[in-house]
Amino acid sequence: MSRPYRFAVIGTGFFAQNHLHAWAQIPDVELVAVCDTDPERLAAAARDFSGRPYADAAELFANEELDFVDIATTPPTHPQMVFLAAEHGVPAICQKPLAWDLADARAMVEAMEAKGLPFMVHENFRFQYPMRRVKEVLDAGTIGRPFFGRFSFRSFHDCYTPQPWLLDSERMIIVDVVVHLFDLARFFIGEPESLYAEALKVNPRIIGEDVATVMMRMPGATAIADASYETFSNHSTYPQAFVTIEGTRGVITLGPDYHLQVVSHPVDVGDSAARMTGAVVFDEDLQIPEHAWASRPWHGIQDSVVALQRHWVECLRTGRTPETSGADTLRTMELTLGAYESLATGQPYRVGSSA
Ligand SMILES: NC(=O)c1ccc[n+]([C@@H]2O[C@H](COP(=O)([O-])OP(=O)(O)OC[C@H]3O[C@@H](n4cnc5c(N)ncnc54)[C@H](O)[C@@H]3O)[C@@H](O)[C@H]2O)c1
C-alpha 36 – ligand 1 centre gap (Å): 10
Our count of domains for the chain comes to: 2
Q: What is the pLDDT of residue 195?
A: 98
CATH of the domain at 341: 3.30.360.10
Q: What is the pLDDT along the chain (355 residues), one digit of tens a residue?
A: 579 999 999 999 999 999 999 999 999 999 999 999 999 999 999 999 999 999 999 999 999 999 999 999 999 999 999 999 999 999 999 999 999 999 999 999 999 999 999 999 999 999 999 999 999 999 999 999 999 999 999 999 899 999 999 999 999 999 999 999 999 999 999 999 999 999 999 999 999 999 999 999 999 999 999 999 999 999 999 999 999 999 999 999 999 999 999 999 877 766 666 666 678 889 999 999 999 999 999 999 999 999 999 999 999 999 999 999 999 999 999 999 999 999 999 999 999 998 7
Tell whether 17 and 46 lie within a shared domain: yes
Q: What is the rounded CA–CA span in Å between residue 10 and residue 320?
A: 24
Tell whether 77 and 132 lie within a shared domain: no
Beta carbon of 38 within 6 Å of any ligand 1 atom: yes
Tell whether 208 and 300 lie within a shared domain: yes
Tell whether 144 and 283 lie within a shared domain: yes
Tell whether 105 and 133 lie within a shared domain: no
Q: What is the rounded CA–CA span in Å between residue 296 and residue 294?
A: 7
Kindly give the number of the ligand 1 atom that is closest to the alpha carbon of 180: 1
Angle at 177 between CA 234 and CA 8, to 5 degrees: 120
Beta carbon of 229 within 6 Å of any ligand 1 atom: no
Q: What is the pLDDT of residue 280?
A: 86
C-alpha 194 – ligand 1 centre gap (Å): 30
Beta carbon of 18 within 6 Å of any ligand 1 atom: no
Q: What is the rounded CA–CA span in Å between residue 108 and residue 222?
A: 31
What's the pTM?
0.96
Q: What is the pLDDT of residue 1?
A: 52
Tell whether 341 and 199 lie within a shared domain: yes
C-alpha 132 – ligand 1 centre gap (Å): 26
Beta carbon of 163 within 6 Å of any ligand 1 atom: yes
Q: What is the pLDDT of residue 271?
A: 64
Beta-strand ranges (E) seen in 14-91 are 29-35, 52-54, 68-71
Residue 43 lies in a domain: yes
Q: What is the rounded CA–CA span in Å between residue 252 and residue 261?
A: 6
Q: What is the pLDDT of residue 2?
A: 72
Q: What is the rounded CA–CA span in Å between residue 334 and residue 323?
A: 17
Beta carbon of 128 within 6 Å of any ligand 1 atom: no
Q: Which domain holds residue 146?
A: 126-305+334-345
Q: What is the rounded CA–CA span in Å between residue 224 and residue 158?
A: 24
Helix axes 129-139, 299-318, angle to 10 degrees: 70
Tell whether 76 and 166 lie within a shared domain: no
